[in-house]
A and B are shown apart, each in its own frame.
Chain A
Amino acid sequence: MAAQNANWASFGQGRIISATLTIPLYGTWVADVVLALGTSLSQTATLILGDLNLLGSVQRAASFAGSRSARLVGGYGGWQKPVPSRGYSSPGAVLLSTVLKDLASDSGEKIGTFTDGLLGTFFIRENAPAQRVLRQLAGSLWWVDSNGVTQIQSSRPSSLIPLPFEVVQWSGAKGRFEIATERLSDWMPGRTFTAPTVSSVQTVSQTTITIDNSGKARLTVLVSP
């Protein structure tokens, strides 16, 4: 049985000493992290920041001066991989699910449930990065969830973020809020929030969590106009 990781910020079993995590409304999240030790990382592991757990993979990493820095992406890192060309044809119709399942298999990613549909009598998949094919099939409406599964939906969950949290700063010009909260996991793109100092309900479009060497964590969100 693996030992419980008591670090507030970690990737796999490695303690994180600084990090910048960006979670966009669509697409995969990206985190640049610096770990305390220079040991190698598991290719896929869970990024833990407070109560936020995200399954991700190492895109790039290097050791320097006794520490290790890495770029992590959500999921299994497969959406950047090129997939070979493939032709689909059916006198009836080619199903979206057929093409997406093959795409996930060829790229090493997982896709959640979605509404199936008919593409037509053909789908000609080009030799291209898997995310480009995903964009052709699903449009821009896809994201990688905390379990590393790619979701293809018309929108993200939009429930109201409950108190307590505090709005530290609000830049109306940039549409950016700095939030003080103990529950980082609440602040996912798509969710909404309001507060006594905020005049209207806001929708999170991008979340950025920054942890510096002193252990200070800061959460900022961009909101939809």
Chain B
Amino acid sequence: MLAVIGHYISGRLNTVVEMASLLCKTVSTTWSEWGCGSRVVRDVIGRQVLFTGVEAIKIITVTSMILGVATIVELITEVPRVSGESYIGPVLVAVVVRELGPLLTAFIVIGRSGTAIATELGNMIVNHEVEAVDAMGIDPLRFIVLPRLIGVTSATVGLGLLFVVVALLGGWLFARFLIYYPFIAYLADLRESLGPWDVALCFIKCASFGIIIAVICCYRGFSVKLSSHEVPQVTIKAVVGCIYACFLVNIIITGFFYL
């Protein structure tokens, strides 16, 4: 029994080490191959930001608006029952800015872009495209992984900040049709509770989640060996792995913040 658990844990740790190695090798191509194919790599980064970031604006806006409305209505309705009006702002900031905003953004990015990356890279392995890129003397880490790392991370940060803004402002915009909460009072509550550290925490979480999503999905995509039937399997592993990792990193960062 212990041997089985030990084997399981060492297997997982091995995977984490390999993913960390992929991240380090990819980042190192930034300076070790400085200038190589810069224009080409920038084009791929641009396409990735467009797909992960720009094309997700609609779903982020809708999701954040719904979350904002629900959170504001619940707070305004329930908190006064326990005479906690002064906690509305802090709870709103804690829930939307520090926790759910970054996490829900990450889940949307995982669902849209994470799956696409793992599937695309898996198919590239099966069709020998990565071998062809490598044979041309183009480092696959620089040409394939690095643009996705930069693109997904920057898009996740941008989307996370958009999520927070739309949830807080857009949420009030629709919530006022359901409850009475003057905008002046709402802004005052927010201004009192929202500090630079809250925004920094949101930024740090979104950036961390973006890096995690890109690395795990690229790693899983590249783990396809020979057959196309492995592609959906590695995509599922990528999604599940990203979700677990984002939750874990979220707790760790939150823990550091409150220590």
**Does A pair with B?**
no
What residues of chain B have their CB less than 8 Å away from a CB belonging to chain A?
Answer: none
